[in-house]
Amino acid sequence: MSVYDASAPLDRVLGGKSAGALNKAFGITTVGEFTRHYPRRYVARGELTDMNTLVDGDAVTILAEVVSVTTRPMQQRRGTIVEVVISDGVAKLSLTFFNQRWREGMFRPGRRGLFAGEVSSYRGKRQLAHPTFEFFPEDVEEDPDRIAMFAGAFIPVYPATASVSSLQIARAMSVVLDTLGDIPEPLPAFVIADHDLMDHRAALLAIHRPVSEEEIEAARLRLKFEEAFLLQTVLAQRRAEIAHLPARARVEHDGPLIREFEARLPFTLTPGQLAVGEDIARDLAGDHPMHRLLQGDVGSGKTLVALRAMLSVVDSGGQAALLAPTEVLAAQHFRSIKNLLGEMAEGGMLGGHDQGTQVALVTGSMKVAQRRKDLLKIISGDAGIVVGTHALLTDTVQFRDLGLVVVDEQHRFGVEQRAALSAKAVDGTRPHVLVMTATPIPRTVAMTVFGDLDISTLEGLPEGRAGVTTHVVSMKEKPAHVDRAWERVREEVAAGHRAFIVCPRIGDDGTDEDLLEADLEAVDDESTKSPLASVLETAEYLASGPLAGLRIGILHGRMSSDEKDAAMGAFASVDADPGIDVLVSTTVIEVGVDVPMATVMVVLDADRFGISQLHQLRGRVGRGNLPGLCLLMTNAPVGSPARKRLNAVASTTDGFELARLDLEQRREGDVLGASQSGHRTSLKLLQVVSDIGIIELARTAATTLVEINPTLSEYPHLIAALADFVAEDQAEFMEKA
C-alpha cells in the first residue's frame, strides 16, 4: 500500500471527486490540511437519545437502528416516498427518500448505523430528507463483543456543509489515516518533554479515532499547544528582530518641557500612570526601539502617559508623533497639548519660551498652505510634537529626528503601518513605538494579537471619578421611559451640562453605507426591520419636539473637518458662542473624545452596536467629577441576544470584563478587526479567550527557544511547520483583502 506524507495532494489519496468536494467546501488541498480538519465533537451511543430536542435546520449525526421501512405513492405528485423509521431505543425519527424506491432494500429492520442530515419538519413530524448514512459492518452486528466495542467508540462529528456530510468526511479521513506516511514532529523534543505532550502523529490519530475521553483530551491539548507554540514562535522571532534594531536612546537631561507640563497639570498622576511611565522611560533609554502596548480601561488616562513620554523625548532633543484614528481626535489632542504646554508650545516664536517647542497638526483635509507650513516645521525640527491622522504616514511628511511614535486609541493599526512610521527615522535608527488600545482586551488576546509587543497595563482610574450609570430603555414596551429620557437630557442641560445623542446612521441619503462610516459592527438580528435612527432626522425631530429650545448641533463623518472642528469646539468649551448643548452624532465620537462637562448620553438603536463599542461610547460621559448617565434605547425584544448584550453593558463598567463577554459571544476577528485579529485560520482548536494557560506556557517555551536558537536552524521540522502556519493565515488575509 502506498503512503502519503503531509504535503501530498489530497486527490492522489482520495481521487478527484472526493478531493474536489473537500476543496470546494473547505479549501483543503493537501493531506496535512485535511488531517487538521478536526472533529467538532464526538457521538457515543446513547448520546442523542432525546431525538425530540432536534431543531429544524440542525445538521445532525445520529447513531440508531432501523425500525421499519415503507414505500408509498406521493399524494400531490407522481412518484414514491420511501420512509424509514429509525430509533435510538427511546425516540423515533423518519428518514425520507423521494423517487428512490431502490433504497427500500437497503434498510433491513434491526440494522444499526449512523445517519446524518439536516433536520426538517413535515406535518409536524421531524425528519431527515435524503440523509447520508453508513451501516456498521455485519460482522460487527453479529458479534456482541464487537458491538459493545463499536458502541463504546467515539464517532467523530466533523464540521460539515450541505454538500459534504460529516460521515463522508469521516470516511475520507479513514482512508487518509490508513495511508498516512511520515509525519514529522514540529515541536522540539525538549518542549514535548517539558510539557509532557503526546507526539504529533499519535495526536492526529487520536483526535480522529479516539478510544477514550482521556485520549481525546490529551490529543486536543497537544494540538492546541502546537498551535499556540507556532504562533508564539513567530511572534518571539519578530520581537527578537525588533530588539536587535538600532535606536537612539532618549534620556532626558534637564526636562524643561516635562517639568512645565507637570507643574501645569491640575491633578496628580495615579499610581498606575506612574508605574507604566517607568516602564516606558526604561524602554526609551535603551539602544533598541521600544515596541510597547499600553492598554487600560476607557478613561484610565492613557493619553497623559503618552504625552509625558513624548515630552521627555522632545526634552532629549528628538521629535515625537502622535497618531490618532480620527480627525476629531487629532484636533482634540492638538488643542489640549497646546493648552497644557501654554507658552512652552510656542518655542522659537515671538513670546514663546526659549526652551519650548512647537506643536504641528497634520490631517488629510488641511489646506495646502497651512499644511506646507507644518511640513516645514516638522522637517526643520521646530515642531517637536506632531499630531495627526493617517496622513502622517504619507511620504511627504519628513522628520528631522523622529524619536517616538505614539499610536492612540487604535487596535486596527497594522504591522505594515507601524513599519511605515518606523521607516521615517533617520540614519538607520528606528523610533520608539508606543501603541495604545482603544478597548481593553484580555491578556491572552493581547498576547496573541499584539504578541510582538511588550505589554503594559494601566491599572485603576483617576480618583474622584463620579462614573457612569447605564440603563436600557425599551422604546416599544416603555414609551414613558423614552419621554423620561429626554426630560433627563433637559435637566442636565439646565444644570449647565452637555449631552451626546448617538445614532447608527447619518441619514442624508438613507443608505446603509453610513454604517460603514460609523464602523458599525455587524450585529446579528431582528431589529433591522424599522429604519435606524439617523443623525439628521433625529436632530430635526428633537429640535421641534422633546428638546425644543435647546441648542442642538450635529457631528458625523461626512462633514468637512472645519465643520467638525466648529461643532466640537462649540460643544466642548463652556464659553463658546454660539454654544451647543446637545450633540447628535454618529460614532465619530466613539474613542478618545474628552468633554468633561458632558454628563448624559443617549444611544438610539443601541442594539446595533457591539459590547465593546458601547463601553467605549459611554466612556465619553462621567469623565470629570460629575456623574454620568448613559441611556441605551432599543427596540430589541426582551430576551433577545441583542437585549442581553445591552444588559451586560448596563450591568458593569469593568471594560476587561465586558471585553471577555464580547469575545465569548463573537469571534475574536469580529471584535479586533481583520488584519490584526486574534482569529486566525491557522488556529483551529485554540481558543484565544479560554486557553489562557496553554497560551502562556507556549509563549514562555517559544521565547526560550528563540533565545537559544534565534534562527531555529536546529529545528528544520519546526521551520517547515511555521511556513505552513504563516502561509495559511496569509492566504486567508489575501482573500479578505
| CA distance linking residue 50 with residue 108, whole number of Å | 23
**6 part of the interface to ligand ADP, by CB under 6 A:** no
Contacted by 692, from Mg ion, ligand ADP, none: CB < 5 to 8 Å by type: none
Give the one entry of Mg ion, ligand ADP, none that residue 304 binds, where binding means its C-beta sits below a cut-off of 5 to 8 angstroms depending on kind: ligand ADP
For 60-127, the DSSP string reads EEEEEEEEEEEEEE-SSSSSEEEEEEEE-SS-EEEEEEES-GGGGGG--TT-EEEEEEEEEEETTEEE
Q: Say whether 361 sits in a helix, a strand or coil.
A: strand
The label of the residue with cell 497634520 reads 362
Closer to Mg ion by Cβ: residue 166 or 612: 612
> x/- binding map, residues 259-298, to Mg ion, per CB under 5 A?
----------------------------------------
CB of 441 to Mg ion, least distance (A): 15
Q: Which is nearer to ligand ADP, 45 or 623 (CB)?
A: 623
If 0-12 CB within 10 Å is exposed, 13-18 middle and 19+ buried, where does residue 208 land?
Answer: buried
Residue 127 or 612 with smaller CB distance to Mg ion: 612
Q: Which of 117, 156, 186, 301 binds ligand ADP (CB under 6 A)?
A: 301
Member of 623, 660, 666, 679 binding ligand ADP (CB under 6 A): 623
* Binding partner at 623 among ligand ADP, Mg ion, none, C-beta below 5 to 8 Å by kind: ligand ADP
Q: Is residue 232 at the binding interface for Mg ion, with CB under 5 A as the rule? A: no
Residue 636 one-letter amino acid: A
Cβ closer to Mg ion: 363 or 429?
Answer: 363
Give least dist CB 455 to ligand ADP, A.
15
- Non-local (6+) Cβ contacts of 429 within 8 A are 245, 246, 247, 248, 289
Residues 295 and 292: their CA atoms lie apart, in Å, by 10
Please identify, using beta-carbon distances, which residue of 272 and 318 lies nearer to ligand ADP. Answer: 272
Per residue, the 3-state secondary structure of 642-677, as one string, reads HHHHHHHHHHCCCHHHHHHHHHHHCCHHHHHCCCCC
Q: Which is nearer to Mg ion, 32 or 592 (CB)?
A: 592
CA–CA separation, 7 vs 612, rounded Å?
41
Q: Are 506 and 558 in contact (CB under 8 A)?
A: yes
Q: Virtual CA dihedral for 333, 339, 345, 350, nearest 10 degrees? A: 140
Sequence-distant contacts of 654-658: CB under 8 A, at least 24 apart: 654/297, 655/297, 655/298, 655/439, 655/440, 655/612, 655/615, 656/297, 656/440, 656/441, 656/442, 658/440, 658/611, 658/612, 658/615
Q: Which three cell numbers stand for residue 293?
A: 502596548
C-alpha to C-alpha distances, 624 to 52, 255, 262, 463, 508, nearest whole angstrom: 56, 29, 19, 10, 34
Interaction with ligand ADP in 559-618: which residues (CB under 6 A)? 592, 594, 596
Return the number of the residue (186 or 592) whose C-beta is nearest Mg ion.
Answer: 592
Partner whose footprint covers residue 269, from ligand ADP, Mg ion, none (CB < 5 to 8 Å by kind): ligand ADP
**Closer to Mg ion by Cβ: residue 173 or 461:** 461
**Of the candidate residues 296, 507, 557, 622, the single one contacting ligand ADP (CB under 6 A):** 296
Among 298, 502, 552, 661, binds ligand ADP (CB under 6 A): 298
Does 270 participate in binding ligand ADP (rule CB under 6 A)?
yes
# residues near ligand ADP by CB under 6 A: 17
- Only one of the segments 95-103, 252-260, 301-309, 708-716 lies at the binding site for ligand ADP (rule: CB under 6 A); that segment is 301-309
Query: CB of 464: closest distance to ligand ADP in angstroms?
Result: 7
Q: Partners of 122 in the beta sheet?
A: 125
Residue for grid cell 463658546: 576
Task: Please choose, out of 92-100, 171-179, 291-299, 551-559, the segment that lies near ligand ADP by the rule CB under 6 A.
Answer: 291-299
Q: Is 310 helix (H, G, I), strand (E, B) or coil?
A: helix
For position 462 contacting ligand ADP by CB under 6 A, the verdict is yes
> Is 303 an interacting residue with respect to Mg ion (CB under 5 A)?
yes
The three-state (H, E, C) secondary structure of 218-244, written as one string = HHHHHHHHHHHHHHHHHHHHHHHHHHH
Is residue 300 near ligand ADP by the rule CB under 6 A?
yes
CB of 293: closest distance to ligand ADP in angstroms? 13
Query: Nearest approach, Cβ of 723 to Mg ion (angstroms)?
Result: 39
Residue closer to ligand ADP, measured from CB, 378 or 597: 597
> 82 exposed, middle or buried (CB, 10 Å; 0-12, 13-18, 19+)?
buried
300 binds, among Mg ion, ligand ADP, none (CB under 5 to 8 A by kind): ligand ADP
Residue (119 or 434) nearer to ligand ADP, CB: 434
Q: Exactly one of 67, 91, 192, 269 binds ligand ADP (CB under 6 A); which one?
A: 269
Q: What CA–CA distance (Å, rounded) separates 418 from 563? A: 30
Contact residues for 117 (Cβ-Cβ < 8 A; gap 6+): 59, 60, 95, 128, 129, 130, 131, 132, 165
| Using rule CB under 6 A, residue 299 touches ligand ADP | yes
| Strand 432-436 with 498-502, pairing | unpaired
With beta carbons less than 8 A apart as the criterion, state whether 594 and 336 touch: yes
Residue span 578-607 as binding mask against Mg ion, x where in contact by CB under 5 A, dash where not: --------------x---------------
CB of 455 to Mg ion, least distance (A): 17
- 554, 662 Cβ separation under 8 angstroms: no
Is residue 224 involved in binding ligand ADP (CB under 6 A)?
A: no
Inter-residue contact 689 to 662 (CB < 8 Å): no
- Of 22 and 322, the one with the shorter C-beta distance to Mg ion is 322
Per CB under 6 A, which of residues 304..333 are in contact with ligand ADP?
304
Count of residues in contact with Mg ion, rule CB under 5 A:
2
Bridge-based pairing state of the strands 80-87 and 59-73: antiparallel
Nearer Cβ to ligand ADP (176/331) = 331
Strands of the 383-388 sheet, one edge to the other: 358-362, 383-388, 319-323, 402-407, 432-436, 291-296, 454-458
Question: CA-CA distance, 245 to 54, in Å (whole number)?
Answer: 59
Distance CA 678, CA 575 (A): 45
* In the complex, least distance from residue 289 CB atom to ligand ADP, rounded to whole angstroms: 23
The nearest distance, CB 195 to Mg ion, in angstroms, is 40
Query: Which of 295, 303, 326, 389 contacts ligand ADP by CB under 6 A?
Result: 303
Shortest spacing between CB 320 and ligand ADP, in angstroms: 16
Whose cell is 430528507? That residue is 129
Q: Does 364 contact ligand ADP by CB under 6 A?
A: no
122 binds, among ligand ADP, Mg ion, none (CB under 5 to 8 A by kind): none
Q: Does 267 bind ligand ADP (CB under 6 A)?
A: yes
Smallest separation (angstroms) from ligand ADP to the CB of 582: 21
Question: Least distance (Å) from ligand ADP to the CB of residue 368?
Answer: 31
Q: Please report where in the chains the cell 425644543 appears, as a residue.
A: 548
DSSP state of 471: E
Query: Residue 332 or 429: which CB sits closer to Mg ion?
Result: 332
Segment contacting ligand ADP (CB under 6 A): 12-20, 158-166, 298-306, 511-519?
298-306
The count of residues in the chain is 737
Closer residue to ligand ADP in complex, CB, 451/592: 592
CA distances from 387 to 305, 397, 405, 521, 588 (A): 15, 12, 10, 28, 18
Minimum distance of ligand ADP from residue 262's CB (angstroms):
11
Q: Is 348 in the site for ligand ADP (CB under 6 A)?
A: no
Contact residues for ligand ADP (CB under 6 A)? 267, 269-270, 273, 296, 298-304, 462, 592, 594, 596, 623
Contact residues for Mg ion (CB under 5 A)? 303, 592
